[in-house]
């Protein structure tokens, strides 16, 4: 009997795309089981690769464009149009204009990084005739609440003297009033849907500045300044639009871009998998699988809060499938993932190394780790099938699938 192996990973930020991660894991599995049936389902969650994945899945078109990057310099970006019937739907990802990958390490300061280029992408989609705009939020390098996006579309953010406040999350602490009169009039005539992490909120102890600010370069002092600035921003947004975004599910997505899109453009926020799974047929592949591999750059206590490995595991458990996660790093309280459908996880890193070394060697490390894990799975299978060994000798936690035991 051939083993049906489904590989459904995320990409590794600043390292490998989801397609590349999938291919590396497949190569490792095939070293051990060359006869295995490999099913590939590289996944996106609104971050890097969102646009290209949905364009490819629907037979759409991709369009290159230069926009303002997160540190104010021009960057090569893109948006697309979905194929198929229905309204002419543009698809874009904020990461292609304001992603963390576009912020050089020495420039990582969320007080000044901007989503201005996201607004330029939206404008380009409107120029190309979009009737609907689908926006992926994820992998951001910004913390400006979508203020830059709004500025690019003609919305004025003013201080007490009636002057423009400038760009970046730090400028929001001077915000006094929002003038919507200059907003691109076409916004009122398009439907905007946003795929975002439903768990991320704008303000409070679990607000986006406090949870994600440090990974974008914020010091503890900067985190508190950003949190206060977003509190102020939320208050002015409510005065201008009547919408309270402070605790809105998804409002904290991509440094608060979700809140800005909803309040200032009238966008509808959706759980990202509600959007993504309309176009990527994961469930039909799960129905054919015997075991599932997934992967992400890091696995920790935040993984169950909407990250791809947890979503894959949740869906796989509907089919009674074992799920193995390969990760670049294993972080704080990663063990909570064992309670949400992930049966085993391991790091691909062999020993102490720099981040640069890990990124450079990621393809080899992924392939070798997949091979190693697959060999461990086969040991469990052999123990289960050996007539001289009772069930008690199975590795603790083994799950029998067909005639195989997956550890």
Nearest one of 154, 157, 151 to 184, comparing CA atoms: 154
Residues 6+ apart with CB under 8 A from 307: 10, 45, 296
Rounded Cα gap, residues 199 and 205, in angstroms: 13
Calculate the dihedral angle through the C-alpha atoms of 324, 338, 282, 272, rounding to the nearest 10 degrees. Answer: -130
The DSSP bridge partners found for residue 68 are 74
Yes or no: domain 50-275 corresponds to CATH 3.40.190.10: no
Beta strands in 172-287 (DSSP E): 177-179, 191-196, 268-271
Instruction: Provide the H-helix boundaries in 242-361.
Output: 253-265, 272-276, 282-286, 308-316, 355-360
DSSP state at residue 46: S
CA 260 to chain CA centroid, Å, is 18
Contact yes or no for 114/72 (Cβ under 8 A): yes
pLDDT at 401: 37
Q: Where in the chain is the domain with CATH 3.90.1510.10?
A: 50-275
Phi and psi at residue 40, to the nearest 5° = -105, 130
Q: Which run of H or of E encompasses 96? A: helix 95-98
> Which CATH topology does 4-40+287-406 take?
Rossmann fold (3.40.50)
CA torsion, ordered 153, 207, 213, 347, to nearest 10 deg: -120
Provide CATH 3.40.50.10350 ranges for the chain: 4-40+287-406
Q: Please give the angle made by the CA atoms of 36, 53 and 317, to the nearest 5 degrees.
A: 50
Tell me, yes or no, if the pTM score tops 0.85.
no
Question: What is the structure's pLDDT at 387?
Answer: 56
Q: From the first residue on, what is the mean pLDDT of each consecutive set of 10 residues in the chain (407 residues)?
A: 90 84 96 95 90 93 98 98 94 96 93 98 98 96 98 98 96 97 98 94 96 93 97 98 97 97 98 88 93 94 90 95 94 92 92 83 94 91 62 40 35
pLDDT in tens, 344-382: 999 999 788 888 888 888 999 999 999 999 999 888 877
């Amino acid at each position: 009997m051939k083993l049906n192996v489904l590989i459904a990973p995320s990409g590794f930020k600043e390292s490998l795309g989801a397609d590349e991660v999938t291919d590396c894991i497949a190569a490792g599995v095939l070293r051990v089981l060359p006869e295995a049936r490999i099913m590939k389902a590289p996944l996106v969650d609104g971050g890097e690769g969102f646009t290209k994945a949905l364009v490819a899945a629907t037979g759409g078109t991709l369009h290159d464009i230069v926009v303002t990057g997160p540190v104010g310099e021009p960057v090569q970006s893109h948006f697309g149009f979905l194929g198929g019937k229905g309204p002419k739907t543009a698809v874009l990802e904020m990461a292609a204009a304001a992603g963390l990958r576009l912020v050089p390490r020495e420039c990582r300061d969320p007080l000044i990084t901007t989503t201005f280029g996201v607004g330029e992408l939206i404008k380009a989609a409107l120029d190309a005739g979009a009737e609907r705009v689908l926006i992926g939020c994820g992998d951001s390098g910004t913390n400006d609440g979508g203020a830059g996006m709004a500025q690019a579309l003609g919305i004025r953010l003013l201080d007490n003297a009636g002057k423009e406040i400038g760009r970046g999350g730090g400028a929001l602490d001077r915000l006094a009033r929002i003038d919507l009169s200059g907003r691109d009039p076409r916004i009122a005539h398009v439907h905007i849907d946003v795929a975002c992490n439903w768990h991320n909120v704008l303000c409070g102890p679990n607000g986006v500045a406090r949870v994600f600010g440090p990974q974008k370069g914020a010091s503890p002092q900067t985190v508190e300044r950003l949190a206060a600035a977003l509190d102020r921003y939320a208050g002015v947004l409510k005065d201008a639009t009547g919408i309270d975004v402070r605790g809105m599910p998804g409002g904290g997505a991509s440094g608060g871009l979700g809140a800005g899109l909803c309040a200032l453009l009238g966008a509808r926020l959706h759980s990202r998998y509600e959007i993504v799974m309309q176009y990527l047929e994961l469930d039909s592949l799960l129905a054919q699988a015997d075991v599932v591999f997934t992967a992400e750059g890091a696995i920790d206590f935040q993984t169950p809060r909407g990250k791809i490995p947890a979503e894959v595991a949740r869906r796989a458990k509907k089919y009674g499938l074992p799920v193995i996660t390969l990760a670049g790093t294993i972080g704080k309280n990663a063990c909570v993932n064992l309670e949400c459908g992930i049966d085993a996880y391991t790091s691909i890193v062999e020993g102490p190394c720099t981040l640069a070394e890990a990124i450079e060697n990621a393809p080899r490390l992924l392939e070798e780790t997949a091979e190693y894990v697959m060999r461990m799975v086969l040991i469990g299978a052999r123990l289960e099938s050996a007539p001289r060994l009772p069930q008690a000798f199975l590795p603790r936690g083994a799950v029998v699938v067909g005639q195989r035991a997956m550890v």
